[in-house]
Structure 1
Amino acid sequence: MQLPRQLKDMNVFNAANSFAGQAMKFTRPKLVIKTEDYRGAGMLGTVKLDMGLEAIEVEHEYGGDMPELNREFGTTDIDGSQLRFAGAYQNDSTGRYDDVQIVVRGRHIEIDAGTDEVGAKSGTKYKTACTYYKQTRNGRVEFEIDMIAGTFLVDGVDRRAELRRIVN
């Protein structure tokens, strides 16, 4: 019997900064293919046409104030901020760990510093709009999406290779 892989520990990095002891949550982006309904003559029903990908965003939360990330807010570069998530997921039926690495580039578009209260735990939440997303598991690329360069890899398969060959 297989048991699900569970996150046992994680860290988030930004530039030369390790946020060990500070990072609390990292919400991976929802990957959504943008579609439009289409029904032409002679068709029995509507189909969804692939119109590319929806915007990609990650959310990340820390146990306090994060001046290193705050300094990047408002960057004029669309990919001026880079984050790396490192997660150790363990399968309790085998005891083995999966090394999940996520790298994103983009810019922080939202900072929620919450409420400051004496004697209470504080925290800061960030939302980052991503131009680049890469997820690997044990060194194997599961997803690599570069919105600007038009790269769309899923499990090593380049979904846009033929399209780029035609238009380049």
Structure 2
Amino acid sequence: MKYYANKVADLFPTIKKSGKYIEIEDVTAFATPEISFADGEVSGAGIFGTVNIPDIYNIEAMEASITAKSFSSGVIAAINPSGVDLRLNWAVDNIGGTYDTSYTAYTATIKGRPKNIPAAEAKKGEGLEMTINIACTYYKLVKNGSVLFEIDPLNGVLIINGKDYSKELNKALNK
């Protein structure tokens, strides 16, 4: 049976506080980091000119964000200059050809430090929203229990689409 992703059914963001994950209340949205590879240059050895190709071992700075409606205890915990450990969970509602429904589960683990303390702009009769941007030092994305990405530049871990590129590099370097 072929399924089609329909919509995000629900969000459940959590943050590690005092050794356990607690819910971040009032979160309306979050964004996982974009993974961008810086270019590497290839030249010489019979190549005419210089060719720029993405270098998978040269990952540019990653940034995630969470958007909330208030300064809840979870949001306050995310404004910790010493670092944050987020676990963002969401489910996508899938629709099949016979109108049956299933869900695809995602979990993103993000570690880093907040880049900003959000301003609270309040107007009578309107909802409040604020966004915290997080400079990521670790990112892992799991879909239905399978690791899609795990990027830990500080510890030399690079897994893309389930393939451990860091293992191959470390083997080539006799590490």
SS at match of 2:170: helix
Runs of 4+ in 1 over 6 A off after TM superposition: none
Per the TM alignment, residue 4 of structure 1 is displaced from its structure 2 partner at its CA by 2.9
The residue number in structure 2 matching 1:30 is: 34
Distance 2:11 2:86 in 1: 13
* Structure holding more strand per residue: 2
SS at match of 1:113: coil
Unpaired segments ≥5 residues, structure 2: none
1:72 and 1:13, CA in 2 relative to 1: closer, same or farther beyond 3 A?
closer
SS at match of 1:164: helix
Instruction: Please tell me whether residue 96 in structure 1 is matched to residue 102 in structure 2.
Output: yes
Q: CA RMSD in A?
A: 2.2
The TM-score with structure 2 as length reference comes to 0.82
Paired positions, count: 164
Per the TM alignment, residue 2 of structure 1 is displaced from its structure 2 partner at its CA by 4.7
| Deviation per residue, 1:58-109 (Å, 9 max, x gap) | 0110112245433553624xxx211111101121125110110111010111
Unpaired segments ≥5 residues, structure 1: none
| Deviation per residue, 1:41-69 (Å, 9 max, x gap) | 63245231515111111011011224543
The TM-score with structure 1 as length reference comes to 0.85
Question: 60, 63, 70: which is aligned to 2:66?
Answer: 60
The residue number in structure 1 matching 2:89 is: 86
Question: 133, 139, 142: which is aligned to 1:133?
Answer: 139
Per the TM alignment, residue 126 of structure 1 is displaced from its structure 2 partner at its CA by 0.5
Q: Is the 8 A contact 1:66 1:124 kept in 2?
A: no
